[in-house]
Every structure is written in structure tokens, then in C-alpha cells.
Amino acid sequence: MYLFIFTALLVVFQYVNSKNVFEADKVQLDGYVKKIEKYKDSITVLGDKAFQYSEFSLGYSEEALNYIEKRGYESDQLIALIEESLYELNLKTEPNPLIPYAAMSPGGKMIINAVRVLNHKWVICNFNDGEYWGELFLKYTIGENRELTFEIVDSFLYPTN
């Protein structure tokens, strides 16, 4: 009789304990499912933004790619050539001839920081001297010897507070 009561208590204890563990795991799993749904939504939003930003990029413009390929260039090589040429101007010349603003911070030098090739003719860049920032809109042409020439279309310097 005592053995039966002890076994019954043990079975009830095991049942209650297993039920509590199962419910705790289910709550934890539900939390993970909600997080996954939230992350999927975030990924979708970020993917949409990335697509919007890529619309103005040489790599995603079919017409610009066709234009470049007809002239015997690879888009990746051309982008690298343009970026390298612009960054070299930071090192070779003082001040950079493409930046129409003089450095205003003490000991600063206006340099091009980032370059984005928009299509087969235009480039947008940002520049700074450590304190003051601006942007350039450039037109580029490729010469017969693969020489790049840049023409400033427009530029601006952000106002300070």
C-alpha cells in the first residue's frame, strides 16, 4: 500500500514537473517565433532600402552598363579606376583641384572621402577637412588612353551651426 501511494505521488510529481517544463519551453519558443517575425520584417525593410539605393548605381543601370561594355570596359574595373583616380588626387595635389573650397579648419586639408559612380557619365562624392563637409557632383569622361577627366557640375558645403 505504501509502495502504491509512493509510486502515485512520484507519478503526479513527474507529471506536474514535466508539464511546467513543457509550458516554460512553449513560452520561450513563442518568444523566439515573435523575434524571428520581427527580424524578418526588418530584413524586408532593409532589403527594400538597399534596392532603392542601388537604383542610382552603375552596377544596376542596364543602359549605362551597355554603354560601357560597348566601349570595352568592365563595370567593376571602371568603378575601381574612377575611385582610384579621385582618391589619388587627395595625395598628389594640394589642394585637391576638384574641391572648390579651401580647408577652413586649422591644419586641415579638403579630401574626397567617398565616391559613388551613378552611371556612365556622373559621379557623386563627399569631402571634408575634418570639420567642414560638402559634396561634389562630377561629370567624367574617358579618353582614348583610358585617361579620366573630371568636370565639376555642382558642389556645396554644408553650413555650420
Q: State pTM to two decimals.
A: 0.66
Question: Which pLDDT does position 161 carry in this prediction?
Answer: 67
pLDDT over 80 at 123, yes or no: yes
Lowest mean pLDDT, pick from 44-53, 80-89, 130-139: 44-53
Q: How is residue 54 written as a grid cell? A: 542601388
Residue 49 pLDDT level (bands cut at 50, 70, 90): confident
The 10s digit of each residue's pLDDT in 65-107 is 888 888 888 888 888 889 999 999 888 777 888 888 888 878 7
Question: Which pLDDT does position 53 carry in this prediction?
Answer: 75
**Neighbour-count burial for 74-86, b at 16+ CB within 10 Å, e otherwise:** ebeebbebbbebb
Q: Where are the domains of the chain?
A: 1-54, 58-157
